[in-house]
Chain A
C-alpha cells in the first residue's frame, strides 16, 4: 500500500517535470529554431563580382577591339538566421580577400504577407559606410525568375582598382566595375557556386 502511494507520487512528480520541460521547450523554440517561423525569409547568398574586359591588341580594322565583359567572383559567408521581437531575419556578414570592406546584408520579415525589408551596408576599415550606403528597401528578391538577383555597385578608387587588377586579372585585362550581388535562386545557393 505504502509502496503504491510512493509510486503514484513519483509518477506525478515525473509527469509534472515532463510537462514543465515541454512547456519550457515550446517557449524557447523560436529562439533556437527560426525555421519554425513560417515568415522566416528564404535563404540567400552574396558574392562580389569583379567585372572586366580584355583588349584585343591584334584586332584588325573594323573588328571589335575589346572582349565581351566577364567577371571573377568572391563569395561572402552563408546566411544565418536570427529572431527578435517577432521579426525573423536572415543575415550575411563578412568580407572578401580583395576589398578592405565589411559587408552586412539583412532581409527581415514580420509576417507571411509581407515581402520584408532588405538592408545592405558596406563599411570601410574605419567602420564608416561607403558612399551610397546603407540602402534600405522593400525586399525585391524572389526564389526564381528575373527577380532572383539584386546588384549593388561598390565604389572603388584607382589604387584599389590597380590592386585588384594585379591580383586577379591577366595581361591586357582591365577592371570595369565591382558589384555586390545578392541571389535567392537555386543556382546561386548551390554548393558549387561561385566558380
Chain B
C-alpha cells in the first residue's frame, strides 16, 4: 500500500492490488456533453433554444473561451458551433481530456462532437493531475467504480477528464444520477454535488473501462 498524496484532507492510496482508492465529495462536470446520445449539450450560445447542462460562464466569453472547442484550438479563437448534421445543431462543443476514436480506431478531429465523452449519458469521473501522473498504469480511459455511501448506490465509470490540482472528487452528470447525487434544477452540472467524504472512488489504472457495453481507449498522458 502506498500513499500517492493528500488533497483537502483526503488520502489517495495505491492499494497492494494496484487499484487507487480515495473518498471525497463530488462536484459535477458537464464537459464533453455535446448531445451525442440525444441529451442536452453542456454549453450553447444565447440563440440556442433548449436546456444546457452548465451555465455559459463556465465556458468563457469572447476572447477567452476556456470551456469549449474553438476554431484556433485556443481560448482566443471563435467557438465551433455544431452543424445541422451534428447531434445538437447550434450548440457549442465541449471537450474532455479523454479522446474517443472512430469506428476504425482512428483519431477524430477536435471539431467532432463524438471525440469527447458525453457527461449527460456516460458515468465518468474527473481526477487531478496528481493521480494521472502519480501511478504506473494509464489512468485516462481506465475502469473506475464509484459508490455513494449515503444512498448505497454504485456504478461502473470511466476516468475521462482532468480537474484542478487541488480538488478531489468530481463526476459526470450521468454518474451523479446513477448513484443518487443531486443535480441542479436549471443547469444540472452547476447546482449539484455531494459533500465530502460521502463518495468512494476505486480506479484500476491500466485496465480499460467498459461502461454500458462500450470499451474506452486507454490514453497515455
Contacts and interface: CB of A to CB of B under 8 A. Distances in A.
B82 to A, nearest CB: 19
Contacts of A21: none
A170 B195 contact: no
A64 B164 CA distance: 12
A51 B57 contact: yes
Given A69-B67, A173-B164, A192-B196, A149 B97 contact: no
Given A66-B66, A195-B25, A153 B57 contact: yes
A149 B182 contact: yes
Contacts of B190: 51, 151, 179
B184 interface: yes
A146 interface: yes
Given A64-B162, A146-B177, 4 more contacts: A68-B163, A146-B182, A177-B57, A183-B182
B14 interface: no
B165 interface: yes
| Secondary structure call for the A interface | mixed
16 contacts: A51-B58, A53-B66, A54-B165, A65-B74, A68-B170, A146-B182, A146-B188, A150-B185, A150-B186, A179-B55, A181-B184, A185-B182, A190-B195, A192-B196, A195-B8, A195-B196
A163 to B, nearest CB: 18
Contact of A146 (B31, B163, B185): B185
Nearest 6 pairs of A and B residues by beta carbon: A177-B57, A151-B191, A193-B195, A54-B164, A149-B191, A68-B29
B181 interface: yes
B31 A69 contact: yes
B81 interface: no
A6 B75 CA distance: 94
B73 to A, nearest CB: 8
Interface string A148-161: 11110100000000
A52 B166 CA distance: 12
Interface string A48-68: 000111111000011111111
A187 B198 contact: yes
Interface of B: 8, 25, 27, 29-31, 54-55, 57-58, 60, 66-67, 73-75, 95-97, 110, 126, 129, 150, 161-167, 170, 177, 181-192, 194-196, 198
B184 A69 contact: no
Contacts of B8: 195
Contacts of B161: 64, 68
A146 B39 CA distance: 15
Nearest to B69: A64
A150 B162 contact: no
Given A64-B96, A151-B185, A192-B195, A69 B54 contact: yes
A140 B64 CA distance: 34
Nearest to A188: B182
A28 to B, nearest CB: 38
Given A68-B29, A70-B170, A151 B184 contact: yes
A187 B66 CA distance: 30
Contacts of A56: 129, 162
Contact of A69 (B58, B75, B97, B165): B58
A179 B58 contact: no
Contacts of A176: 57-58, 60, 66-67
B54 to A, nearest CB: 7
A141 B29 CA distance: 22
A194 interface: yes
